[in-house]
Amino acid sequence: MYEFAVTPATTQIRRRGVEVTEIAPGGLAAELELEAGDRIIKVNGRAVRDYLDFRFLTGGETEMTLFVRKKSGEEWEIEIEREEGEDFGLNFEQIVPRQCANECLFCFCKGNPPTARPALFIRDEDIRLSFLYGNYTTLTSITEDEMRRVIEQRLSPQYVSVHATDLDVRAYLLGVDKKRADISGKMRRLMDAGIEIHAQVVLCPEINDGPVLRRTISDLAAEYPRIRSVAIVPLGLTRYNTDARLTPVTPEFCRRVIREIMPVQRELREKLGTTFAFLGDEIYLRAGRRVPSRRHYGDYPQIEDGVGMVRSFYEDFNALWRRLQYRPPRRASRLNGTVLTGALFAPILKSLLDPVNERFGTRLRVLPVENRYFGSEIVVAGLMTGMDILEIREQIKGDFVIIPSAALKSDEAIMLDGMTFEDLQRQLGLPLHALDFSSFSQILSGKRELSL
Ligand code: SF4
């Protein structure tokens, strides 16, 4: 599930150019008297649709002409000469995502409570966000213009939700006809143009598992290294998506998938030198298995999709543990608080923090947060809500509370259920900290103080 840091496209009137939102004092743009609110319409006579276009059209150019519509309504044509590599000192409005025309059986939008914020219902399908943030697109509704843009601007890699190479199955999962579902020509065209692809399969029991999955992996692996990897992540059913065609993912199903795919992965490693087809962390954890080793993940090609996160966390934590042996945390006993995380990750985090508590006298208690907002099937930390945290407030102990920063919107301190960070902190009556691993490790190693 992904929440955008932008307003839905449906509420926006498409305007020409891209809006400048901030100017760095003393920079080139300030010298040119550009201001926040101005729109850059063209660079060297070519239309600018967003900041990616601006970056592409100005990149490497030392002389250029900008056509600008000032916020006052005036139109300026500005001739520019700049040093090689000199930055404009400009910030632009966010990209408004294009929305998809699919009706996927498992679409995350169907899993939202009806009262969820409008931003959670954005069905994005945007090759720009795929390139920038690793968001998956299905390529079913990509236009010719967008295809050309990916190739011309080298928007590589692209992240493509394939789900199944069997066309009947893909069309069924996406809720579109077979003609639209068939993206083989588009994938080939992108690959022929040197655009790298990372693929994804949302694994739905009894639909695209078993032989369909094995064929999908084998078809995609045949294109390695043009297709770099495939992430196989389990269907996530909230209590709101009750489509009878979907079968929930169970621990037994996860064990079966691991059993079936392990030999395929082994074979791929021998043949390609990479595991290529990576199972999502959730599959191992739900199966009650340990996640694979560091070697299995190589350079973690699907980490943006959360695949390999647990292994990467283990690695980072072990490195921290080694550092702590040489330089024990200062005033460790002051670290007396509760660390909240999702039900699936809580036992792992506890197994890592218990030895720290024992060895250094810290008192960090790990508390799993059951997800009542989306339903107990949802066990990942990033989907934790404020309401769920308040449900377990009686169990919270110590002087502070830590939540994963991933549980907050990327550009605003707000949780998925709309509860703000401040509100949650006020209701908990304790200092609250949203931390990623790096800030957490700085606190543990005493490089950063936790304000209490
Ligand atoms: S592609 Fe499918 S899952 Fe993604 S937003 Fe569209 S309907 Fe939902």
Mind giving me the DSSP string for 34-96?
Answer: --TT-EEEEETTEE--SHHHHHHHHTT-SEEEEEEE-TTS-EEEEEEE--TT----EEEPPPP
Element (H, E) at 229: strand 227-234
Q: Is the CB of 102 under 6 A from ligand 1?
A: yes
User: From the alpha carbon of 109, which atom of ligand 1 is closest?
Assistant: 8
Distance, CA of 302 to CA of 228 (rounded, Å): 10
pLDDT at 3: 43
pLDDT at 13: 53
pLDDT at 202: 98
pLDDT tens digits for the chain (452 residues)?
444 444 444 444 567 999 999 999 989 999 999 999 999 999 999 999 999 999 999 998 899 999 999 999 999 999 999 988 889 999 999 998 998 989 999 998 888 888 887 878 888 899 999 999 999 999 999 999 999 999 999 999 999 999 999 999 999 999 999 999 999 999 999 999 999 999 999 999 999 999 999 999 999 999 999 999 999 999 998 999 889 999 999 999 999 999 999 999 999 999 999 999 999 999 999 999 999 999 999 999 999 888 999 999 999 999 999 999 888 877 777 889 999 999 999 999 999 999 999 999 999 999 999 999 999 888 888 889 999 999 999 999 999 999 999 999 888 899 999 999 999 999 999 999 999 888 888 888 877 777 76
User: From the alpha carbon of 174, which atom of ligand 1 is closest?
Assistant: 2
Residue nearest to atom 2 of ligand 1 (CA): 104
Q: Is the CB of 1 under 6 A from ligand 1?
A: no
Residue nearest to atom 5 of ligand 1 (CA): 123
pTM (global) more than 0.75: yes
What are the contacts of 142-148 at 24+ separation with CB within 8 A? 142/186, 147/186, 147/189, 147/190
User: From the alpha carbon of 202, which atom of ligand 1 is closest?
Assistant: 3
In contact, 49 and 22? CB cutoff 8 Å? no
Q: Is the CB of 173 under 6 A from ligand 1?
A: no
Q: Which of 125, 162, 241 to mutate to test the pocket of ligand 1 (most atoms within 8 A of CB)?
A: 125
pLDDT at 451: 72
pLDDT at 5: 42
Q: Is the CB of 125 under 6 A from ligand 1?
A: yes
Q: How far, in Å, from the CA of 130 to the mean position of ligand 1?
A: 13
pLDDT at 7: 43
In contact, 93 and 5? CB cutoff 8 Å? no
User: From the alpha carbon of 110, which atom of ligand 1 is closest?
Assistant: 8
**Six-digit token string for 376:** 């107990």
In contact, 255 and 209? CB cutoff 8 Å? no
Q: Is the CB of 261 under 6 A from ligand 1?
A: no
Q: Is the CB of 112 under 6 A from ligand 1?
A: no
pLDDT at 14: 63
Rg (CA), the chain: 24
Distance, CA of 143 to CA of 360 (rounded, Å): 58
Q: How far, in Å, from the CA of 382 to the mean position of ligand 1?
A: 19
In contact, 409 and 6? CB cutoff 8 Å? no
